[in-house]
Amino acid sequence: MDKQQQFIAMVQTAFLANAINTSLEQDAMERRHEFSASGALIFMDEALRAAQMIPENMSSVEAAHEFADFMLNGLREEGAQVPGWFARP
């Protein structure tokens, strides 16, 4: 597996685990857009784009953590800024 494939496998797994946790919360019906099929497609579209942009000096694990921590509402800290390496211009 190359770095991009490792990254995709990790963020896809993180998305699925987060979706399960989010679906069990009391406000799941109001937040279902976060873990719906269309939500998954949007997330994976961003993940595929980001996989091509991982800096050479960053591991797939580091990149997956940064990406998931920002992209997943359940992990994002208040005031978080998009990491520069996958920010849109």
> What are the distances in angstroms from CA 73 to CA 4, 35, 68?
23, 10, 9
Q: Which pLDDT value is given to residue 36? A: 85
Q: Provide the percentage of residues in the chain whose pLDDT is more than 70.
A: 99
CB atoms closer than 10 angstroms to residue 69: 14
C-alpha 15: how far from its chain's center? 6
Q: Which of 69, 63, 30 is nearest to 49 (CA)?
A: 63
In the predicted structure, residue 74 carries a pLDDT above the cut 70: no
Render pLDDT for 10-48 as a digit per residue (tens, 0 to 9): 999 999 998 888 888 888 788 888 778 898 999 999 999
In the predicted structure, residue 1 carries a pLDDT above the cut 90: yes
In the predicted structure, residue 77 carries a pLDDT above the cut 90: no
